[in-house]
Amino acid sequence: MSTAHVAAASLNQTVGDWSGNARRITQVMAETRTQGGQVLVLPESCVSGYSLGDRLHRSGTLEHSWRVLRQVQEQTAGLIACVGLPIAHQGVLYNAMAVLADGQLAGLTCKENLAVGDVEYESRWYQPWPHGRAETFETPDGEQCPIGTLIFHAQGLGRLALEICEDGWLGIRPGSVYALAGAEILGNPSASWFVIGKHRTRRGLVEQVSREDKCVYLYSSLLGCDATRLIFDGSVIVAADGTTLAEGRRFLFAGESDLVHQVVDLDVLRRARREQGSWREQVRRLQNGDYGPLPTEVTLPGTWGSDTPAQADAPYWIQEGAGSADPSLAWLEPRLGPLKPSDVPHLELELALTLGLRDYLRKTGVPGVVVALSGGRDSAMVATLVHRMLANDGQLRHTRERLAMAYLSTENSGSTTRDAARRLATAFGAEWHELDVQAVLDESLRLAEQLNGGPLSWDDPVQDLALQNVQARVRGVQIWMLANLRRALLLTTSNKSEAAVGYTTMDGDTSGGLAPIADVPKSLVTTWLRWARDFHDLPALDPVLAQQPTAELRPADRTQTDEDDLMPFAILDRLMYEFVQNGRDPVALFEVLWPELGEHYGGATTAFAADIRKFVTLLCRAQWKRERFAISFRVTAFDLDPKTGFRFPAVQAPFREELDALDAHVAGLS
């Protein structure tokens, strides 16, 4: 029987943390060796951290990366380890994986399909490797090794090849060529950032590839927040012939890595390849050059035969832990209780945001956070996420030192929001402040009337907006002061829906250095809070959920709700998704959404067209605000961050002709 003891691991790395990154890599290598593992696949760019940005252009980044590679290379006696780092070859940067074996550098495989589009920008720095090319790499320390489209032959074990992250997500994959050329073990080292529901797709992809390529497929990804914005959930999957054999723990707070290892029977895969006629035909076509040049084979030093017998694995669906709604989250069930399928997306969202927040604070050395708690849903979600971060990190006993919250009132504030905010802060055990800022507001208004040359009136639409905004800005000054006095990070509480249409006050409620829910639409804020209230037994959220969302900036006799100012958030969020993610112009928005939303408007097509016009106009006008928003985390299929996501012009004609075409289209329906 020919078996292989394979392993893959996640790592919580930090950009530029050379000694820390090296330590975590060597620790996982040692653990793999202790467990009897022979082949270890580590994540993409694990030496340097993935989110390097323009640090990639600095020569020091390459120098440190190579030094760390040589350092960890010394720890690979009796082990084949695949380690990711950036390299320069013939003056060009490549995203590479180094294959280390028994203390030697055997060769380098480079990424062929760069991640470009959405939040990815790899072509700014890297060159894609041409498939089929193999060359000689001159190492920075004067040695030579093969680089390119390589298969690594471990004598007595089998053949190994790598496709890097994006390479595995495309219809024409380099891994399929490697498999046809004889590789039985395929590794996919990744830096695959989190999106709600993505892991289900990822697992399906791994299983499908392992089935189609009749191989053992080792998938590993980064864990945590290695710089900013992107959060990695730490996915690790080992699959063979369409079945997941082992899966790591995602969103791991305790520890900096997670290792999965498995003994696999390669004879079963080899037999399947021999028996299938279509496989043999594809191999023949590969050898004839139909699929391009053959990969170059590199023989690894040492002899790698295994005497560890493979055990017959029970089908994945009846293995231990498979009763969970998501096996990669089953490790949480002893603490949180059984998970239902409906819990998974909400728990994923919580874990991603709290892990990102924990890593941001830990890696920047910030001791705590401050939240302006308004008694509304957005600030309640941010506060709850901080509470859950401390719970997930085992730090609840330090809540009062780590979390301060304040309610900043004016004469327009009501007892309902004040009481809701106080109840939540008390339930979480946070440091709590109530501050009446009316006197500061009155002085600001006195000075503003001097600037205006007369009194200000709520009856004037222009002055109405200014009178609202000044309250938010006065609050912003005081909450910044609290954060400064505590040497803490002020968290921005704005949500994605408000960012879309600019329903936020610059230097007011946008104040802060990090915006945890800036990629969470308002309708999801409400849904998540309702889930968190029941799942985590947080009755303190009841008063928050009982209210209609309101900015509470107008006098009480001028009743104000967010949805009256805008439109129902469920509609706004549907318009946002179709306009931004699917690129639909106004007429297409109407045609696609009217069958779904027409009932809400009672059949009044002009009313829906008016909301489309309002949404598109506000979204275009608000781009300048989005350019100034705080750093945020990406957690949904698209985001509005102009630095990494929705790069929209700040100056443009806001779809005037397209909106006029919408009005004509609706008029034609009458």
Helix, strand, or coil here: 74? Answer: coil
pLDDT beyond 70 at 404 = yes
What is the mean pLDDT of the segment spanning 466-486?
95
In the block, residue with structure tokens 């969302």: 549
| Torsion angle, alpha carbons of 51, 54, 55, 60, to 10 | 140
Q: How many CB atoms lie within 10 A of CB 287?
A: 12
415 — phi, psi (to 5°)? -65, -25
For residue 314, what pLDDT band results from cuts at 50, 70 and 90?
Answer: very low
For residue range 182-214, list pLDDT tens digits in order: 999 999 999 999 999 999 999 999 999 999 999
- State the pLDDT at residue 643: 86
Rounded CA separation 499/492 (Å): 12
Q: Judge whether 264 and 245 are in contact, CB under 8 Å.
A: yes
Query: Which residue, among 246, 194, 178, 256, has the nearest Cα to 218 in the 3D structure?
Result: 246
- State the pLDDT at residue 556: 81
- State the pLDDT at residue 310: 55
- State the pLDDT at residue 618: 96
- State the pLDDT at residue 313: 46
- State the pLDDT at residue 335: 93
For residue 309, what pLDDT band results from cuts at 50, 70 and 90?
Answer: low
For residue 560, what pLDDT band results from cuts at 50, 70 and 90?
Answer: confident
Copy the structure tokens of residue 131: 């498939």
pLDDT beyond 70 at 311 = no
pLDDT beyond 80 at 458 = yes
- State the pLDDT at residue 279: 87
What is the mean pLDDT of the segment spanning 619-623?
95
For residue 306, what pLDDT band results from cuts at 50, 70 and 90?
Answer: low
User: What are the DSSP calls for 176-187, one per residue?
Assistant: HHHHHTT-SEEE
36 — phi, psi (to 5°)? 90, 10
Rounded CA separation 411/413 (Å): 5
Copy the structure tokens of residue 275: 């028996």
Copy the structure tokens of residue 545: 């959920």
Copy the structure tokens of residue 607: 């009313």
Q: How many CB atoms lie within 10 A of CB 172?
A: 11
Radius of gyration of the chain (CA): 28
Query: Which residue, among 121, 114, 361, 350, has the nearest Cα to 228 in the 3D structure?
Result: 361
439 contacts: CB under 8 Å, gap ≥ 6: none
Domains of the chain in sequence order: 3-318 (3.60.110.10), 341-669 (3.40.50.620)
What is the mean pLDDT of the segment spanning 485-497?
96
- State the pLDDT at residue 324: 63
- State the pLDDT at residue 308: 63
Rounded CA separation 446/517 (Å): 35
Name which of 229-238, 240-249, 489-498, 554-563 the model is least confident about: 554-563
What is the mean pLDDT of the segment spanning 632-650?
90
- State the pLDDT at residue 317: 32
For residue range 47-67, list pLDDT tens digits in order: 999 999 999 999 999 999 999
Rounded CA separation 107/96 (Å): 10
Question: Packing angle between helix 344-364 and helix 377-392, nearest 10 degrees?
Answer: 70
pLDDT beyond 60 at 223 = yes
What is the mean pLDDT of the segment spanning 619-638?
93
